[in-house]
Amino acid sequence: MQIKLIAIGKTDQNELEHLISIYQNRLSHYVRFSFEIIPDLKNSKNLSEKLQKEEEGKINS
């Protein structure tokens, strides 16, 4: 089994980044795990929720 976690936007909190790395390390012993951060959209306030999802999907592909 493979788990792929996709997050939108980076975090500025060092504590959260540390916890994510610990979680990745623990999971890697049991399953294939990958973590990917896709960038935030610019001017997303002007887009509807549906359009935001479509744009985020284009970035990930």
- Whole-number pLDDT of residue 22: 92
Q: Is 51 left (phi over 0), alpha (psi -120 to 50) or beta?
A: alpha
Number of domains forming the structure of the chain: 1
- pLDDT tens for residues 9-55? 777 888 988 998 998 899 888 999 888 888 776 666 677 778 777 77
pTM above 0.75, yes or no: no
Residue 11 lies in domain: 2-60
19-49: burial string, b at 16+ Cβ within 10 Å, e else: eeeeeeeeeeeeeebeeeeeeebeeeeeeee
